[in-house]
Amino acid sequence: MTGSLLPARSQGRGLALAAVATAFLLAFHRAVPNTPGRLGSLLEAFLPWLGAVVLVLFGWALLRRAALALVALLLPLAAWTHLFGGLWLPAADPRPGELVVAQHNVSDENADPDGTARALAAAGPDLIALQELLPAALPAYERTLAAAYPYHAVHGTVGLWSRHPLTGVRPVDIKPRAITQSWNRGLRAEVRTPHGPVAAYVAHLPSVRIGPGGFASARRDESARLLGRAIADEELPRVVLLGDLNGTVDDRGLAPLTSRLHVAERGFAPSFPAAFPVARIDQVMARSATVTQVRTLPATGSDHLPLVARVSPLRADLPGR
């Protein structure tokens, strides 16, 4: 006996149903409940990878010559293209007043901070935001970046280096209530650019885990709410947020930020893990400005890839996410 035990017609119907289900998850991922186990956030963390499911189904449908399934696959293909197709389009030309910014979780296990700092400076950004800065490694970053970035501020394990003067530097309290030890992962500074002031926020939200209880993101979500309130209260119109947010822009846990800030218009740029990046959890977002492009740099001594973004002024509207 050769072939499948199921009739070809039944297989075609099964593939068509799988295609429709994939389209539903793409188009209506917000409808997937977050209880139990925050399954909705887990789905959204890997939402672009449903495109791989579409490819598998397409290959299977071709192999089985399942015409019904091939037609049904137009649904998830259209949904995926609507959500993510624009990220692959060429970026717009640079505009006057554009800021180039770099975001990097440098890792508290990075054995080559000097090399990491040189790699970031070589990209030529105006601002460099770093997370997981250890006291022992800080002098290396200060020494290597000093010539090109004479202004910098550090609070706890996050820091900001700038070509332009920094004023109004202050910590931003984003510590979840359940964390009782010292935990300083947010700062705000006013960047005095030649084209006007910009409020720059640097943040490192709590990590998430996948375990027996599901997707553990409660602390990350609480920290995102605190950061969202701080940005909502920011008096300067132009804001740039740079950080390891431990979540993708589709993850509903980051809604307190994505509802207030524009996210990247171009660039897929998965940043974690560096050895085989599957998700962009390092983010650059902006208010009254447009993040026109994000891209990753080659790996450093970190488990994250560095992210470089172009931020163009001025957008007065807020995102309708």
- What domains, with CATH codes, occur in the chain? 8-88 (no CATH), 99-313 (3.60.10.10)
Q: Which residues pair with 244 in a beta bridge?
A: 204, 282
> What pLDDT was estimated at residue 214?
85
Residue 38: is its pLDDT beyond 80?
yes
Predicted confidence (pLDDT) per residue in 45-76, tens digit: 999 999 999 999 999 999 888 899 999 999 99
AA identity, residue 300 = T
What is the arithmetic mean of pLDDT over 283-306?
97
Residue 305: is its pLDDT beyond 80?
yes
> What pLDDT was estimated at residue 37?
85
Residue 136: is its pLDDT beyond 50?
yes
> What pLDDT was estimated at residue 321?
39
Write out the H or E segment, with its range, that includes residue 152.
Answer: strand 151-155
In terms of pLDDT, which residue wins out, 239 or 36? Answer: 239
CA distances, 116 to each of 106, 120, 122, 160, 246 (Å)? 7, 6, 10, 15, 21
Residue 164: is its pLDDT beyond 80?
yes
Residue 209: is its pLDDT beyond 50?
yes
Nearest Cα to Cα of residue 304 among 284, 276, 285:
276
What is the arithmetic mean of pLDDT over 269-280?
96
The share of the chain scoring above pLDDT 70, in percent, equals: 94
Write out the H or E segment, with its range, that includes residue 288.
Answer: none
Report strand pairing: 127-131 vs 166-171.
unpaired
